[in-house]
A and B are shown apart, each in its own frame.
Chain A
Amino acid sequence: MAERDWKECIKSLKGVVLDMCGVLYDSGEGGGVPIPGSVEAVKRIKASDLQLRFCTNETQATREKFVAKLKRMGFDISVSEVFSPAPAALAILKERNLRPHLLVYDDVLPEFEDIDKTDPNCVVIGDAADKFSYQNLNDAFRVLIQLEKPVLFSLGRGRYYKETDGLKLDVGVYMKALEYACDVEAEVVGKPAPMFFQSALTDMGIQPQEALMIGDDLINDVGGAQNCGMRGLQVRTGKYRPSDERHPTVTADGYVDNLAEAVDIILKYRGQ
């Protein structure tokens, strides 16, 4: 039934928002590999009358380097089409005059180059990957616990993602650890925060009900988009697990084997 619903909404669509890792490519050693059919699928959306944006919780590189990597894989994509958490967090820090202690991947540090980091009064945690150690987490914990009112920002809240050599813990796990240790609730910047999806919609100049999100993460992509009023489609690539289709609280508007199949269906129903 859900499947029929999403196909019925195709005709009124004005824009598509794509998750990147697990939809366009699988990450891993050497930067990752494109998922078969995805390079072509992005080209086909761009050739249609639909608008296209990308929403990623990627925080292991600056947006520029990240987009350059995808271009090398063959994707037709530009920096201005990509929404990622680090630039969004930087804007919030500046607006609220906060000085962050950063627990993020080295390659994303340039995004925070021009902000005061002395005597920190908040912590920003991103997917630091192999930089996550007891020592680094403890340093972040000590900054938080000595603040009268601890402020913790998390760049996304994903549980895990898939790399070519297996599933890896994502930033949400370390965010939860710090939340529990300091008895605080993190402010999430990135998916599934509604503000993050909304910024992509505003950029396209369309309403939530006119947009479809396609992602491999049931909670953050599909659930997050649905909470924002968009439709959410889950691809059976990336971190997808069969049990996602029986999740107790989040049900996708539809499931497709991969991005190529989603684009086939969308374009067929639009008569293109």
Chain B
Amino acid sequence: MFRTHNTQKNHWRPNEIEAGVQETNIRSAAVGVMAMRQALKAVLIDLSGTLHIEDTVVSGAPEALSRLRESQLAVKFVTNTTKESKRSLLDRLQRLNFSIQEQEIFTSLTAARSLVEQRSLRPLLLLEDSALEDFTGIETSNPNAVVVGLAPNHFNYQTLNKAFRVVLDGAPLIAVHKARYYKRKDGLALGPGPFVTGLEYATDTHATVVGKPEKTFFLQALRDLNCKPEEAIMIGDDARDDVGGAQNAGLRGILVKTGKYRAGDENKISPLPLATCADFPQAVDYILEQLI
């Protein structure tokens, strides 16, 4: 039912060491597992491809989520989005019968907003109207930062020149994420990544990327759960952005074989996923049976 990777010790053991047992200098994988079992406090869950695929729910996922909630583990839903506000994500999830609260959702837009708030920035927002809702109340006059999401209506010569001048004057460039392109009904279309890359080149700077797979994204998602990275696990269908990103940030990761999963994805990251499961319900069973 589950495929765990604990036979691959070279990949596996560094995880155990990160799981809070360095001080005891324990090199035994078995003891490492025990240390992990004691530690798990929170589960981060990807949305699209993991709980649902477009408007179709992954079979058994709402029930599995309820089982997970009964275990006292904290739960948070994390996703890279540049167009959908939290409100619209929540509407869809509730329509699909998931019991989820708005404050449990953490998106790349949320991450961008908290970065802006932490640093008291006044951003020029290159975002579509549907995403602006998540920035309500943020001061944007006389900008001293640039936030770039997926904004076809703003990716034009005039607006990019304006953003460029703000960054050239020393303002930070913040990218909601750096996807190269995405699939639209009429074919492939450029994502925010190319435009961020162009602005980076023009200004000789590096953007701060806030979405998955960035380390800070996972750490920020855990912040209000009062939970250390090694006490959390991420479940997602994207080997690189969900599982690889989480594991790089010190969390553990479970890959599910739904959504964008393609055969062999679990071998494309190092260290390997802690486990690879058929779908979200099996990932939940794995956590409940093996990790607590």
Please report A residues at the B interface, Cβ cutoff 8 Å.
129-134, 137-138, 141-142, 145, 159-160, 166-170, 172-174, 176-183
Contacts and interface: CB of A to CB of B under 8 A. Distances in A.
Given A177-B190, A180-B197, A141 B156 contact: no
Contacts of B152: 134
Given A159-B202, A169-B198, A174-B198, A180 B155 contact: no
Main SS of the interface on chain A? helix
A160 B202 contact: yes
B198 A134 contact: no
A134 B190 contact: yes
A69 B153 CA distance: 34
B109 interface: no
A142 B186 CA distance: 11
Interface stretch (B37-45, B159-167, B228-236): B159-167
Given A141-B190, A181-B193, 10 more contacts: A129-B157, A132-B160, A137-B194, A169-B202, A170-B202, A172-B202, A174-B198, A176-B200, A177-B194, A180-B193
Nearest to A182: B180
Interface string B190-216: 110111011111111000000000000
Interface string B154-186: 011110110011001000000000001100000
B26 interface: no
Given A132-B157, A167-B168, A176 B201 contact: yes
Nearest to A181: B194
A138 B184 CA distance: 12
B151 to A, nearest CB: 9
8 contacts: A159-B203, A160-B168, A167-B165, A167-B168, A169-B202, A173-B202, A178-B194, A181-B180
Contacts of B1: none
B188 A180 contact: no
B287 to A, nearest CB: 36
Nearest to A167: B165
B164 A169 contact: yes
B149 to A, nearest CB: 13
Contacts of A145: 181, 188
Nearest to B197: A180
B264 interface: no
Interface in B127-148: none
B269 interface: no
A141 B161 CA distance: 21
Contacts of B160: 132, 169, 173
B187 to A, nearest CB: 6
B201 A167 contact: no
Contacts of A166: 161, 165
B156 A132 contact: yes
A137 B198 CA distance: 12
A144 to B, nearest CB: 10
Contacts of B180: 180-183
Given A130-B158, A166-B165, A167-B165, A141 B188 contact: yes
Find the residue from A132, A137, A169 having the highest chain B CB count within 10 A. A169
Interface in B94-127: none
Nearest to B151: A134
A177 B198 CA distance: 5
Nearest to B163: A169
B189 interface: yes
A166 B155 CA distance: 19
Contacts of B158: 130
A138 B168 CA distance: 26
Nearest to A177: B194
B155 A169 contact: no
Nearest to A176: B201
Contacts of A134: 152-153, 155-156, 190
Contacts of A169: 157, 160-161, 164, 198, 202
Contacts of A138: 189-190
A20 to B, nearest CB: 21
Contact of B181 (A159, A167, A174, A181): A181
Contacts of A142: 187-188
Contacts of B197: 176-177, 179-180
Nearest to A163: B161
Nearest to A135: B152
